[in-house]
Amino acid sequence: MSTPRQDLLRLLAHQSFRLGEFKLSSGGTSDYYIDCRTTTLDAKGARLTGEVFLEEIRKRGWNAQAIGGLTMGADPIVVAVSVVSGELNGFLVRKAEKQHGTGQRIEGFRGKGTRAVIVDDVCTTGASTVQAIEAAREFGFVVVGAMCLVEREEAHGRPNVEKAAEPAPFVSIFTASDVRAEHVLRVSEAGKK
């Protein structure tokens, strides 16, 4: 019987990973693309994402009360973990303060002094995770950890996030190498049938 983590990896490899030539938001190019939202917004994928992130948060003993991240990639992860946990409150960080209404940058749960985990779907340069960490701290959250679903293993991504998150640790659930290997395995198995 497989674990939620193994099932999530299989789903990412099948639904979210593509080989080809792609331009990245960082400006670079890559021979693969990972669109985690096709997994994190899938009914089964959302449940698995919530379970795997929650298990990792508990395993690390972070004792978080909230989970959040920069909107758009973090949104489905925040909701999935909040729902699966039944106890972690979710918040989303806007890229900039709203120019209307109350002008908030943090949406959802807003508990100053609350222990929070910052999440993102993919970490390439780490810029969106860093932005979310900075905004959460500026608001008054105590960042106890940062997590991404897939780390692209780019030269500056992990160091950028680790520096911003310090003293909180940065954890990736999977690396791009993990997802690629699973994708290649699945394609190979399908070709043998």
Residue 29 has pLDDT above 90, yes or no: no
Residue 7 has pLDDT above 90, yes or no: yes
Q: Please check whether residue 192 lies inside any domain of the structure.
A: no
Mean local confidence (pLDDT), 130-150 = 97
Question: How many whole angstroms separate alpha carbon 155 and alpha carbon 138?
Answer: 27
Higher pLDDT among residues 9 and 125, named by residue: 9
Q: Please check whether residue 64 lies inside any domain of the structure.
A: yes
pLDDT, residue 25, reads 74
Residue 80 has pLDDT above 90, yes or no: yes
Domain that holds residue 65: 4-185
pLDDT, residue 137, reads 97
pLDDT tens-digit profile of 164-181? 999 999 999 999 999 999
C-alpha count within 13 angstroms, C-beta hemisphere, residue 37: 5
pLDDT tens-digit profile of 88-100? 999 999 987 766 6
Query: Which CATH number covers residue 94?
Result: 3.40.50.2020
